[in-house]
Structure 1
């Protein structure tokens, strides 16, 4: 909750406190006035005819006291009701502002990821046309594979967000990588049954690419990766026949962590706020608290909305946004989600 909303509620409570004190003072004065009127009536009765006129005044004062007391009681009730309504309306306004803000932050988070992954989709399609990559896939001699490996290594020196780049032949055998010394188990491995290879080989032209689910790759020291792939095509042309597959392994964990930890929260919010990235199955693929990655599924309630917020029964507010995509990258059905406690 923001400082402004706290001040609003504090002011409401102060108005109620001040009004209650003032009404109590009026009630006290009314009681004293009523007592004086009663005493005056007693004295007037003792005075007989001489006190009759005074009795009339005393009765009038008593009646006025009753009227003031009624007005005061109504005033107390009305003030309490109005302040309660103000507090309720203010709470609803704060909840709405808070929910919309969390949804906006969730959108910003997923947009950053979309822009990043758009670049990855460009990388894999571009590098699949590299002459060294194409030559290696066409004729996987030791010389060609060594040349392709050197070329991939040069690319990796400039693109530090990748763990490795692999070239696989049509049977799924990895014939060249960019970091054979770092990951010696990759060359010679067969990846024919892996999602990225099958989908990459099935791309219809050079403008298509595929992305496998974020997961751990045991041949890359069990690191968490987002794998992009596309077919390497004869002649490096967009309409050439497939001659292999290029797979590029995005170093997911540090990049995603920077996004979820970089959400612009106020200092007092961080300890009770969780920023998440979910895949299309609502599986946690990044979290600001480091918990549940690849093991937790969030039962997100979107009600058919692409962006919004809702309150949970435990008092927490959930803001979410579906990936909007970026440029030619349509997104993967991922969500940015922010869960904030009261």
Structure 2
């Protein structure tokens, strides 16, 4: 972790400075005791570096896990569709009739193989389709192969299984000598007796390469893969580092050892099991993510990190849900040590004020060097923690981008299947025959086929067969039987009937439909052509098939699975995901506040996404800073890339980061204080030293000769009887005596500061001692008496307890702020008539 090594070197140099300053302080005898502060910073440095290492590792592992999880989940969703494909294709009328022939002719085999080519033209995820009869003879297939019989056990299993499909990965004798992923199911006659087995060979290597390509940018060192539970690598994004067939140790798959030694190289490794899809868990494979250790922590956040300015970082770092509480504690401890150090240096300077001792000047210089060393140390703490927080925010932005890309990819893949389904089912020979020569029995048979298909494909609310006049002939859902005989009036009906090629399809806009209870959905359609038509322009269209996508739960499930999650798998608080149409209207949302059809709460220009790619950024929304990831639909395989269909759909993923700051500028500017403190007055100038402090944005002070010391606010006891104006904060035990403490902010009409930052300045006023509550301590500069302008020269408000003001100027002589010098005697007079202090024991 090179960045942490760099910080370690900086801390080592600072520690050497502390050693030197501590020694000088001991030699001078007048400087503040430094050993406690030195030790505190030393201990905190070790803790900080440890936390930085943990957080850096966790960020990299989280990013690696997200990629590996996306890879296996996308694959499983793809394979879920294959489990349905084998079921409906095995029920295809042409395939069944071919197996029913006792001695099929070469022409029959050629016709069914042409049918297979039609299928793969629509479902390009398959490399081969094999049809085997009951005796194991290969009746037809898509790809040439010398095997004429199938002896693999998958045939017997498909003929006898009680399930809905058979899934197998391994060497299949009639497919290939290499490992193959196949899906098989039996073909039955009308009486449900087995005629043979249909086998689909999935293009696994091609599919995995596509998944890896989408998840890994060119400059990414990450290696993705998947493996069997036994450790055999099925596919890897790098054939050299993670080749298929490689055997991995069980420890690499069970997460017991995060570092994997492979081929003489060490890899940071994660293994992820699929979360499943609609109850389907896939073949049980495991997603792998590997990252070479030498590159794991060298990948910067680039442009994402650069977009996070200091103001935004300050607004979001208080959220323990996003940042480690331990790391926040380190930051608070560093601030407390620095605050105590500043007070110690401030008090040391007060003790030196007005001193004529020979070493007073040296002691003052030493004290300010100690203070500067503290500020440098605090700055390094803040910078290192800030860099890490910036990295964490950038990681959340990247997670939003990644999850948006995941959502849009899954949506494209899902709709790719819908565009294929309608076109394939439109080729069913029974549908063409019945629509060409309609009969009541034929219509009932079509309804049975549609119902069987719909039982396999739960993503549809209904499947509808209609004739050339748009009249509904059959439906898949018995509850929608009233539709039969009705004429469909939607505009997509005529577009469907105008289609002339079986590779063409139509799709409705995402809009309310009476076929979906007036809710918005997509309806995919294809033309049914008379037997023998569809290969060339001019085929006779006899009707069409419409498939009503069950969009509400399906889009909802995609978005729900796309929500960014923490390490425990729980969605990040307040996160939501959206699908948004090109016109800016919502298609689906995980947040009930954003209804379907309403304008998107966050506007993203689809054209900008098309030009620049996926987006990750920060927006303000509902008074919060939010990380936003956006991805534009780019299609999948042929869908929306070469089929003529186009629709701008954007996936959005949003995670709240923190409230937008409303108190910007409440902290004092240090420009004025630094300008005066840095001055060196010439000899002979009559001057006084001012002990300064801040309340809100205001810079105030008193003459240093009137100050006893600054103390912590802890131990302040409330007064038995508060003053009517609330100026008395209480009593502070100081050197055994109770000291009344004034709320200086209220006296001056300034908003109260933050309690955790406040301190008490003990002053002597008109023979009595009192305390002043301040927000933070400032420098103790020398001020020429001539620069003090009496307050009466500036305002007629004589009730303000001030001696005057001092105008500060920067090195160029420009105005840099103003210091108000308070009159401690008039402050003390405000306590006249206050009740006697409580009897505080010195032990308190």
Bin of the TM-score, shorter chain as denominator length = 0.7 to 0.9
2:584 is aligned with 1:279:
no
2:335 is aligned with 1:28:
no
Aligned to 1:260: 559
Q: How does 1:174-323 map onto structure 2 within 5 Å? A: 174-179=472-477, 181-192=478-489, 194-222=490-518, 224-235=520-531, 237-239=534-536, 240-263=539-562, 264-266=564-566, 269-298=571-600, 299-302=602-605, 303-304=608-609, 305-314=612-621, 315-323=625-633
Q: Give the CA deviation at 1:219.
A: 3.9
**Is the radius of gyration larger for structure 1 or structure 2?**
2
| Uncovered stretches (5+) of structure 2, i.e. residues with no partner | 1-318, 641-645, 658-844
Q: What SS does the aligned partner of 2:651 have?
A: strand
Counterpart Cα distance in 2 of 1:290 and 1:137: 44
Q: How does 1:57-68 map onto structure 2 within 5 Å? A: 58-59=357-358, 61-68=359-366
Q: Is the 8 A contact 1:134 1:232 kept in 2?
A: yes
Q: What SS does the aligned partner of 1:285 have?
A: strand
C-alpha change, 1:81 and 1:199, in structure 2 (3 Å) is farther
2:448 is aligned with 1:147:
no
Aligned to 1:332: 647
Q: TM-score, normalised by structure 1?
A: 0.81
Higher helix share: 1
Q: Give the CA deviation at 1:227.
A: 1.0
Deviation readout 1:115-167 (Å, 9 max, x if unpaired): 22222122111100001111122223333322222221222222222221112
Deviation readout 1:288-312 (Å, 9 max, x if unpaired): 1234343212152243433112322
C-alpha change, 1:301 and 1:255, in structure 2 (3 Å) is closer
Deviation readout 1:158-207 (Å, 9 max, x if unpaired): 2222221112222222222223x311332222224x14323323435211
Q: TM-score, normalised by structure 2?
A: 0.35
| Uncovered stretches (5+) of structure 1, i.e. residues with no partner | 42-57
Q: Is the 8 A contact 1:196 1:247 kept in 2?
A: no
Counterpart Cα distance in 1 of 2:457 and 2:557: 17
Corresponding residue pairs, total: 319
Aligned to 1:46: none
Counterpart Cα distance in 2 of 1:126 and 1:289: 36
Q: Is the 8 A contact 2:341 2:371 kept in 1?
A: no
C-alpha change, 1:259 and 1:176, in structure 2 (3 Å) is same
Q: Is the 8 A contact 1:23 1:72 kept in 2?
A: no
Counterpart Cα distance in 2 of 1:291 and 1:213: 23
Deviation readout 1:50-83 (Å, 9 max, x if unpaired): xxxxxxxx41x21211211332454455556656
Q: Is the 8 A contact 1:9 1:90 kept in 2?
A: no
Q: How does 1:58-137 map onto structure 2 within 5 Å? A: 58-59=357-358, 61-75=359-373, 78=376, 89-137=387-435
For CA contacts below 8 A with separation 6 or more, give which structure has more relative contact order.
1
Higher strand share: 2
C-alpha change, 1:257 and 1:172, in structure 2 (3 Å) is same
Consecutive aligned runs of 4 or more in structure 1 exceeding 6 Å deviation: none
